[in-house]
Amino acid sequence: MDTGMIKRGFFFGIIAAAFLLGYMAFQNAMPGYKEKRIYNEIKIYSPYKLEKRMGGLEIIDKRSGTKEKPSSQEVLLRLDELDVAWGKEHLKIEGNDVLVLGENGGVLARIYLENEKERKWVESFYQLKQQ
């Protein structure tokens, strides 16, 4: 076999590996799918918000004012982690509604689940079960 062909094959193999690794890193940095309507309604009650800063984004806990400054690659994944932890304690599925519970356990809001897809997403994303 010609050494020129081997060098070319090796070169293209390196390029293909670099693209594959870049694509995998991109996929790992992407947050999970969200049911837009229900997520936006629940997000109103979440204590976490994103705020722009000079070097990217930071996550602020509205209850305590504490700030987290994860890397720009990790910020959306970290926000999802915080939302899930909050949701496990403050969300409850009852019938066709998601109940948003306050710090004292009282119901702040009732959000109607329009279809089974929304219910499954809430159960999956916030790791809840119907009561």
**pLDDT of the chain, 131 residues: tens digit per residue:** 577 778 888 888 888 888 887 777 666 666 677 889 999 999 999 999 999 888 788 999 999 999 989 887 888 889 999 999 999 999 999 989 999 998 888 899 999 999 999 999 999 999 886 55
Residue-range definition of the domain harbouring residue 121: 31-125
Q: What is the pLDDT of residue 84?
A: 92
Run of H or E residues at 92? strand 91-94
Instruction: Answer whether residue 131 is part of any domain.
Output: no
Q: Are residues 52 and 107 in the same domain?
A: yes
The total domain count for the chain is: 2
Q: What is the pLDDT of residue 24?
A: 74
Instruction: Answer whether residue 13 is part of any domain.
Output: yes
Q: Are residues 57 and 115 in the same domain?
A: yes
Q: What is the pLDDT of residue 61?
A: 93
Q: What is the pLDDT of residue 130?
A: 56
Q: Are residues 52 and 91 in the same domain?
A: yes
Q: What is the pLDDT of residue 13?
A: 84
118/41 Cα distance (integer angstroms): 12
Give the other-Cβ count within 10 Å of 47's Cβ.
14
3-state SS, residue 33: coil
The pTM score is: 0.73
Q: What is the pLDDT of residue 28?
A: 65
Q: What is the pLDDT of residue 33?
A: 77
Q: What is the pLDDT of residue 21?
A: 79
Q: Are residues 26 and 39 in the same domain?
A: no
Instruction: Answer whether residue 46 is part of any domain.
Output: yes
Q: What is the pLDDT of residue 44?
A: 93
- CB-CB contact of 58 with 50 (8 Å): yes
